[in-house]
Structure 1
Amino acid sequence: MARAARTVLIVAMALSSLGFLTLAGWQVQRLSWKQDLIARVGLRLQAAPVAPPAQDAQVGKDDEYRRLRLQGRFEPREALVQATTDLGGGYWVIAPLRLDDGRIVLVNRGFVPPERRAPEAHAAPDGPVELTGLLRLTETGGGPLRKNEPAEGRWYSRDVAGLAAQLGVADRAAPYFVDEAADPAQPQRWPRPGLTVVRFANNHAVYAATWLALAAMAAAAVFYLVREERRRASP
């Protein structure tokens, strides 16, 4: 190998080692962020349910998975969003709940399999209800490789604005939706609530270790190449 080529290889390996170190540092930062997220969400899940945010409140990441208590009546309409859960493939049943103060909150009443998608197979309670659930942020766009098709009533994500428009409550709906919590008194009811996934993948320590190992290997290669270059240059 020509000397110029060896020099280029040494520089490339040195830059690679620095790049791998940078990526390892980024994964360490991500690890800290993920651990903080898991801790914060855990505290929210254990906290007592509270009233929903005010109509003009700004709702963001710091509010997601907060437990809410809602009181009102379900409107006689719903939308179905395609879903895959531990119970298999089917649909989320999204229904507008008119709160006692007149506001509307879209509630994910739970999961139904395809054979129970007909409204009469999972009718909402007729009358006042009180329920608890988790505040969730809107999911725009659709699913992987599938876009929501509002005009055709096909939904692959829980897009609050789009669903509220289809249900005719866009002017009154809160900018979030609520995943209804499981009902211990009706463990086998349809729709089946309480299926919110609150597990967060946390592989950042493994990724950091991998990048560190690659950085060490690249640094070792630089050391070997530099030593060989000096040996070649020695008389």
Structure 2
Amino acid sequence: MSDSERSENAQMADASQTRPRWGFTQISFVVFMVGLMGLFIALGTWQVERLAEKEALIAAVETRFDLAPQPFPASEDWDALDPQELDYARFELTGTFDNSYTVLVFTNVPDPAGRYGGVGYWVMAPFFLDDGGIVWINRGFVPQAAAADFADGGAAPQGRVTIEAVTRRPEQANSFTPEPDLAEGREWVRNPERLSAFLDDAAGPIAPVTLDRVAGEPGELPQGGETQITFPNRHLEYAGTWYLFAVITPIMLGFWLWRQRRPRNLAHEEKDN
């Protein structure tokens, strides 16, 4: 064998010794980083979609909340109503409260518009419309210490009254939501279907929404006017954060790949130095 052949073979042997060996761990890491980048992109896109939804909600609230109250739809039209389209609209209703069916819905009002806030209850009562049908009205908030005074309605309006209220779409229960306490008249969500379990079976048609009464006299309980009409909107910030992570991830992966491609003997030399 000639000297040139020996030299060439020696160089190939050196290259094979210094070439990084790829195994399951290295391949898994690359797959993980690529998957992580995809996850960050998906999360950023989801936040952009949530941004559009939140902006649509804010626009709807600003439009509906400032309109003059309208007569509430007749009960024969309730099956065709879309609670989402009625959300935050103002209505005027005439009828009679039946406060013997009052239900207290547990809540927390951290930033009240009125005097009272914190842990307490929404005072929900069925309102029998003159034109037929029942609407669950949120008469307002009472603090926990005063809840016992309103378990049977408290100082409730008597006889035929006309009220102004703001529509709210039903709150949805989840797997962690307790069942209604029918014996104590306690609930956890403002949902017409669940609230109607407290009524007699033949009570009548139930509106697919609840309504929040507007504010009354200062210091009055239940405290109306607590409909939340301001919403945090940081989805653009969140989307930017996720997309930034999506950009950083391939840069980190590229740097790691570059490190893996460096000859091992060079890495050992740097370590020895």
> Paired residue for 2:90?
67
SS at match of 1:190: coil
Change (3 A) 1:142 1:95: farther
Report the CA distance between 1:109 and its aligned residue.
0.6
**Conserved? CA contact 2:134–2:204, under 8 Å:** no
> Paired residue for 2:271?
none
Report the CA distance between 1:218 and its aligned residue.
0.9
Distance 2:86 2:97 in 1: 24
Correspondence 1:136 to 2:160:
no
**Conserved? CA contact 2:180–2:187, under 8 Å:** yes
**Conserved? CA contact 1:142–1:157, under 8 Å:** no
Aligned-residue sequence identity (percent) comes to 35
Report the CA distance between 1:16 and its aligned residue.
1.9
Q: Which runs of 4+ in 1 moved over 4 A?
A: 142-145
Larger helix proportion, structure 1 or 2?
Answer: 2
> Paired residue for 2:129?
99
Structure 2 alignment gaps of length 5 or more:
1-19, 265-273
Distance 2:184 2:148 in 1: 16
Give per-residue Cα distances to partners, 1:15-59, cap 9 Å, x unaligned: 322331222122112212211211112211111211112323323
Distance 2:207 2:241 in 1: 44
Kindly report which structure 2 residues correspond to 1:94-133, keeping only aligned pairs within 5 A, or say none: 94-113=124-143, 114-115=145-146, 117-119=148-150, 122-133=154-165
Kindly report which structure 2 residues correspond to 1:67-86, keeping only aligned pairs within 5 A, or say none: 67-77=90-100, 78-85=102-109, 86=112
**Conserved? CA contact 1:182–1:192, under 8 Å:** yes
Larger radius of gyration: 2
SS at match of 2:186: coil
Give per-residue Cα distances to partners, 1:141-180, cap 9 Å, x unaligned: 3795533223443212223123223133642321221110
Aligned length: 232
Change (3 A) 1:144 1:46: farther
Change (3 A) 1:11 1:166: closer
Aligned match of 1:23 in 43, 50, 66? 43
CA RMSD of aligned residues (A): 2.7
